Chains A and B, each alone.
Chain A
Amino acid sequence: MKKVFADAQAALDGLVFDGMTIMAGGFGLCGIPENSIAALHKSGVKDLTVISNNCGVDGFGLGVLLDAKQIRKMVSSYVGENKEFERQFLSGELELEFNPQGTLAERIRAGGAGIPGFFTKTGVGTLIAEGKEHREFDGETFIMETGLKADVSIVKAWKADPQGNLVFRKTARNFNPMMATAGKVTVAEVEEIVELGSLDPDEIHTPGIFVQRLFVGSFEKRIEQRTIREREVA
C-alpha cells in the first residue's frame, strides 16, 4: 500500500467530513502541520472538534480555521494571544475544553495505546477535578481522565521514509508522536522523504505503523517570540 501522496489535498482526500474530530500537532506555532491545516481550510469542512495544545494565532496555524468559522470546539491547554478566538468564545460560537497540558498529552498517548482511562494527581482540588472519579492510591488522591482519539490526526515531522517512519526535529516534536498514534487515520507532512533504508532504525521516533498517509510540505515556520541576545563586542 502506497503511503506517499502528492500534497495535503491528495493526502486528505476522502477523509474529511463535517463534525469530525481532528488532532493537530504542535506547540505554539512550532511543529504544526501547516499544509494540512491549509488544505482543511480549503476543503470548507465545518463543525470541527480540534484537539491541539494551542489554537494558532490570528491568521496563521489553526487561527486560519477559526477565522473561517470551521471549528466548533477546541480541546487545548492554552489558547494564548488570539483575538478571533476570544471573540468567538465570548459570543458563544466556539466551545472550549481546557486540559492541563500533561493531562492532554497523556490522554492522547492513552487513546493511541488502547487505554480508555487513567488516574493522575494533576488538577486534584481544582475546577478540573469536578465531576471526575476520585480514587486513593497509597494514601494520595488521584482523578480519572479518559483517553482521546481522533478521526484524523494531522502531524508534522522533519524526515520520513516511504514506509511512514518519522523523525522529528528539536522541540518541533512536542505533541506530534502521540497524536500520530491516536488518529484512526494519521496524515504526516514532512520536510523530506528519504530513501527506504537511509533512516537509522534505532533513531526512528514514530514507527510507520502509526502513519497511513504522507507527503512533503512547504513550511513557513513562523516564529511567535523571536528572542535573541547581542554578541558582546570584544
Chain B
Amino acid sequence: MAWTRDDMAARAAQELQDGFYVNLGIGIPTLVANHIPEDIDVTLQSENGMLGMGPFPYDDEVDADLINAGKQTITELRRTSYFSSADSFGMIRGGHIDLSILGAMEISEGGDIANWMIPGKLVKGMGGAMDLVAGVKRVVVIMDHANKAGEPKLLKECTLPLTGKACVHRIITTLGVFDVVEDGLKLIELAPGVSLDLVASQTEAKYTVSDSLLQHEPA
C-alpha cells in the first residue's frame, strides 16, 4: 500500500523543525502546510515576497494584493512581513531559508534535480525553482516513485534538463524515503506494505538499504 499524496505530505511535515523558515513548492508540497505539528513554530515563505504565509482566505477576506507563488489568494498572520522579489531571493540565495520542499520529474543518484522543462513540449519557465534548489539550506523532494508510464524517476543520470546539480538532500516518494549520500542513494524508510522488491523494480538509481530501515505501519 503505497503512500498517497497526502501521506507523502504528512511524512514531509516531519522534516519541519521548531523555528524553521520554509518554502513550499507549488502542487503536492503545498499540502505539507496542512500537517505542520502544532507544537512547533514554522514560518512559511512565499517567494513572491512574503514571510508568514497564512491559510486561504474566507470568501469575504479575499484580497487581490495578497497571493502566494502559485498565484492563489492567501491571508497574512500577525508575524507576516512583505518585501520585494530582490529581497525575497536574497534570503533564498543567501542561505537564510532552512528548508525547501518541492516536486520533481526526475532525480539522479547524485542528487541532481530536473523539474522545469521537457524538451519538445512547451516550456513555461523555471520560475524560482533554480534559485531555491541552489540557495536553500536543505532540499526535500516529494514525488511519485514512477512516472505515468511506470518508468523510474530515480535515475542514474537525469535525462531532462537540470534545475540544479547535486542539491537534493532527501526524496519522499510514494514507496518510501531516500537520502542522498556520498556514493548514491540510501533507502531509509518504506511506505506501509511496500516491499524491497517493489522498490528495486521501480528504481534505476544506485541505492543501498539502510541497516535501520523503517517500515511504516498502515495509518
Residues of A within 8 A of B (CB): 27-31, 53, 76-80, 86, 89-90, 98, 100-106, 108-109, 120-128, 158, 168-178, 205, 221-231
Q: Determine chain B's interface SS by DSSP, over half rule.
A: loop
Is B67 an interface residue when CB atoms closer than 8 A count as contact? yes
Residues of B within 8 A of A (CB): 46-50, 55-59, 62-68, 70-74, 76, 82-86, 88-90, 92-93, 112, 117, 122-131, 134-135, 161-166
Asked whether, in the complex, the Cβ of A86 is within 8 Å of the Cβ of B130, the reply is no
- Excluding A105-B86, A120-B134, A170-B82, 19 further A-B contacts by CB distance (< 8 Å) are A29-B64, A98-B126, A101-B128, A102-B92, A102-B128, A106-B86, A109-B86, A123-B134, A126-B164, A128-B130, A169-B65, A171-B68, A173-B82, A173-B83, A174-B48, A223-B64, A225-B72, A226-B73, A231-B58
Docked Cα-Cα span, A117 to B134, in Å, equals 19
- A-B contact list, 8 entries, CB within 8 Å: A27-B71, A100-B130, A100-B131, A102-B88, A102-B135, A122-B135, A125-B165, A225-B67
CB distance from A24 to the nearest CB of B (A): 13
Docked Cα-Cα span, A76 to B91, in Å, equals 21
CB neighbours (8 Å) of B71 from chain A are: 27-30, 224-225
Docked Cα-Cα span, A121 to B62, in Å, equals 37
Docked Cα-Cα span, A227 to B63, in Å, equals 11
CB distance from A121 to the nearest CB of B (A): 5
Docked Cα-Cα span, A106 to B130, in Å, equals 14
B55's contact among A126, A178, A229, by CB below 8 Å, is which?
Answer: A229
Asked whether, in the complex, the Cβ of A121 is within 8 Å of the Cβ of B48, the reply is no
CB distance from A29 to the nearest CB of B (A): 8
Docked Cα-Cα span, A128 to B120, in Å, equals 18
CB neighbours (8 Å) of A101 from chain B are: 47, 85, 89, 126-128, 131
Most chain A CB atoms below 10 A, which of B47, B57, B65, B68: B65
In the complex, residue of chain B having the shortest beta-carbon distance to the beta carbon of A101 = B128
CB distance from A74 to the nearest CB of B (A): 10
Docked Cα-Cα span, A180 to B135, in Å, equals 26
Closest 4 CB pairs of A and B: A102-B89, A125-B165, A102-B131, A221-B64
Given A173-B82, A221-B65, A27 and B48 contact (CB-CB distance below 8 Å): yes
A79's contact among B48, B67, B92, B125, by CB below 8 Å, is which?
Answer: B125
CB distance from A75 to the nearest CB of B (A): 11
CB distance from B91 to the nearest CB of A (A): 10
Asked whether, in the complex, the Cβ of A53 is within 8 Å of the Cβ of B85, the reply is yes
B67's contact among A98, A105, A158, A224, by CB below 8 Å, is which?
Answer: A224
